[in-house]
Amino acid sequence: MKQGWKNALIGLAVVCASSSQAAPPESSLFPLVRPAVATQTAATLAFQDAALPTINANLRPVLRPVSPQVLAVAARPSDLPLLGPDTSLMPYLRPKALEQEAFFKKRRLRKGSVCGDIAIQGKLVGAVPGRISACGIKDAVQITSVSGVALSRPSTMDCGTAIALNKWVDKTVKPTFKRRGPVVELQVAAHYACRTRNNRKGAKISEHGKGRAIDISGFKLANGEVVTVLKGWRKKPSQKQLIKVWRGACGPFGTVLGPNADRYHRDHFHLDTARHRSGPYCR
């Protein structure tokens, strides 16, 4: 039994030795990569050659046109300095002194304002008694400027009239004379006065006697020129502007009278805040 196992082991060793001395295979056991040309038949190659376009060897790409930005830079004067770290497009900080000046100016305007509007400058007057019945103002103010435009003399009125005057100057008068020259002053022909309408005996009390009216005879410009209602109403170049400011007063004021109304108003605009059932009366 033992001799049998021994002979078997010897035989196995002989077989292993003989297999290790065998010659190696002539080629690898891994499959070779198939050549690309080998997979294509002659017919396939001919079809592909016919489908491909003919390439022109002399064809070159077209250059991109020069952009307008590059042309603008090329045309830029050489002596014009370029933007650098010291030349920023950002706005500079407001100087401290200018801030303080603006602050104190606004504070001064607020201190001198009346009727709850910083654009209306003047002082409180209080009750103004009338020398005759139906005259007088309960809470009067004395106005010196509205919307940055001075009045030729301090004018007494109630706040309703002051607010209407400020709105008219801001929305109509200033824009109308902007190109010709900014308006710096209103020429005041009349304000509060305890009298009858047109000073006629027995007539009703005028709106002037109630502090609800003001008469404007002209507009002073920054260059010193004065555009008057008397001379400019029917003459160019003032005619168109005066008609525009007269028309613009109709709305803020309840009654607007000009040179076309009657002989009493040929040299001024009468503006009052009386309210009529049919709406503003403008003539």
Q: How does pLDDT run across 175-219, given as a tens digit for each residue?
A: 999 988 899 999 999 999 999 888 888 788 999 999 999 999 999
First to last CA, the chain: 150
Identify the sign of the CA torsion 260, 264, 265, 267. positive
Here the tokens at position 129 are: 């008694």
Is 197 in contact with 190 (CB distance < 8 Å)? Answer: no
Neighbours of 192 (CB within 10 A): 26
Tell me the per-residue pLDDT of 83-115, one tens digit each, with 9 for 90 and over.
Answer: 555 555 666 666 767 666 666 667 777 888 999
CA 194 centroid distance within chain? 46
- The per-residue pLDDT for 20 is 47
As a whole number of angstroms, the distance between CA 128 and CA 134 comes to: 12
CB-count exposure of residue 186 (10 Å: 0-12, 13-18, 19+): buried
As a whole number of angstroms, the distance between CA 115 and CA 73 comes to: 57
What percentage of residues in the chain have a pLDDT greater than 70? Answer: 67
Class of domain 110-282: alpha beta
Question: Residues with Cβ < 8 Å from 41, sequence gap 6 or more?
Answer: none
As a whole number of angstroms, the distance between CA 110 and CA 46 comes to: 96
- The per-residue pLDDT for 22 is 47
In order of 124, 170, 214, the CA distances from 187 in angstroms are 22, 16, 10
As a whole number of angstroms, the distance between CA 247 and CA 124 comes to: 30
- The per-residue pLDDT for 92 is 61
As a whole number of angstroms, the distance between CA 246 and CA 240 comes to: 10
Tell me the per-residue pLDDT of 110-126, one tens digit each, with 9 for 90 and over.
Answer: 888 999 999 999 999 99
Question: What is the pTM (predicted TM-score) of this model?
Answer: 0.63
DSSP, collapsed to helix, strand or coil, labels residue 214 as: strand
Among residues 76, 54, 166, 78, the alpha carbon closest in space to that of 114 is found at: 166
Locate the domains of the chain by residue range: 110-282
CA 75 centroid distance within chain? 32
